[in-house]
Amino acid sequence: MFHVKKWFTAIAITSLAIGLYYVDKQMEDGLWANIEYIILPDPMAYNAYEKGECTFYVFEEIKKDGNMIGVDWHDAELWASNATDDDYNVDQKPAPGAVLQTERGELGHVAYIESVKEDGSLVIFEMNYNTPYEITERLIPSEKVDQYSYIHPKENPRPKSIGT
């Protein structure tokens, strides 16, 4: 009787493994990728930045794009260095959907790049440039583009809650 239980257990485990392997091969991204997506949290699920501030606004815009940035980069003046530490691409090349960052001002400032025009100027959207909670659009002339750092978001692997 003892050997029958061992054989039954071995057959059951082998059948389960074969079944999981078969299901994994039938799914586009694989079974394990789907399990990971379901189990692991969305890295952009919670915006820890202070409402009304430029950092909060940019976080939400990046989230809407289905991308991600750091949730703990602190004040805007620290974003470029913290992004670099977190292996994000930070350079002098603006791109739509990237973050414009400057250390200017008391705590620095960040803005969302809506577009790059043919002449090299930037259309940006930002919050708290003039007043807390106020979202404004601004044009950065091409001759001033090199005064900023640009943080390029990563693709969010688990965007479960797109939008606000």
DSSP assignment, residue 107? S
Predicted model pTM: 0.76
**Tens-digit pLDDT profile for residues 52-96:** 999 999 999 999 999 999 999 999 999 999 999 999 999 999 999
- Which residues have a Cβ under 8 Å from the Cβ of 112 and sit 6 or more positions away? 57, 58, 61, 62, 97, 99, 100, 124, 125, 126
**Tens-digit pLDDT profile for residues 88-143:** 999 999 999 999 999 888 899 999 999 999 999 999 999 999 888 999 999 999 99
The span from the CA of 133 to the CA of 21, in Å, is 51
Say if residues 115 and 96 touch (Cβ distance below 8 Å): yes
**Tens-digit pLDDT profile for residues 18-42:** 655 655 566 565 555 556 656 667 8
Helix H or strand E segment including 122: strand 122-127
